[in-house]
Amino acid sequence: MLDFLYQPWPWYVAGPIIGLTVPLLLLLGNKTFGISENLRHVCASCNIGNVEFFNYDWKKNGAWNLTFLLGVILGGLIGGFIFANPEPIALAASTIDDLRALGISDFSGFVPSEIFTWDVLGSGAGLAILVLGGFLVGFGARYAGGCTSGHAISGLSDLQLASLIAVVGFFIGGLVMTHFIYPVILP
């Protein structure tokens, strides 16, 4: 059993558990699964400039979700540090070849150490990836009214047409970035 906790989990184990998060939160208190809503709650908690979009009772609406988010951080600690997967990720060989050609050489962790390090503060490209990437995730998620959890998982589970349109948008953006923009910014 313990061995299972130390190994990477295949898609057919992880998929059902992630899917069950949707009914779990509904049953626990009629809550809709969506992580990025928390970014709005944090903005609402300090609402600099009194922006109307952030004028709502974030404690009443968001306390449960912010608590869930705290759990996600702890889950990251338990799953990614205490029970860290022992081997590098078994990536497709073609992806590794592609990324090597883009200058990525360290495949040992969850993320390339060339970009995800405090040393990037001194480099243009790495810092741009972290700052611009984060900004677009935050901006796009709220503009679209949800992220991967809110639209792709919750929304599609509930057969919402809006979520299908949003997920198509996610893939348009993701494919353009991966195939056309990344090759330019990682020379």
Partner 1 sequence: MLSIKDFFTFLFAGILFGFVLMKSEVVSWFRIQEMFRFDAFHMYGIIGVAIFVGLISIQLIKRFGVKDTSGNPISIPPKDPKQVYRYVIGGTFFGLGWALLGACPGPMFALLGSGLTIMIIPILAALAGTYTYGALRSKLPH
**What gap in Å lies between CA 141 and CA 40, rounded to an integer?**
10
Of 76 and 103, which CB lies nearer to partner 1 in the complex structure? 76
Report the amino acid identity of residue 149.
S
Number of residues counted as binding partner 1 (CB under 8 A): 130
- Span 150-179, contacts to partner 1 by CB under 8 A: 151-163, 165-179
Token pair of 95, please? 């992806």
Least distance to partner 1, CB of residue 26, Å: 5
Judged by CB under 8 A, does residue 136 bind partner 1?
Answer: yes
CB 83 within 8 A of CB 6: yes
With b for 16 or more beta-carbon neighbours within 10 A and e for fewer, the 72-89 pattern comes to eeeeeeeeeeeeeeeeee
Radius of gyration of the chain (CA): 19
- Span 36-75, contacts to partner 1 by CB under 8 A: 36, 38-40, 42-43, 48-49, 51-54, 59, 63-65, 67-75
- Span 81-100, contacts to partner 1 by CB under 8 A: 81, 83-85, 89, 91-92, 94-95, 98-99
Least distance to partner 1, CB of residue 4, Å: 9
CB 41 within 8 A of CB 62: yes
- Span 2-41, contacts to partner 1 by CB under 8 A: 5, 7-32, 35-36, 38-40
Judged by CB under 8 A, does residue 101 bind partner 1?
Answer: no
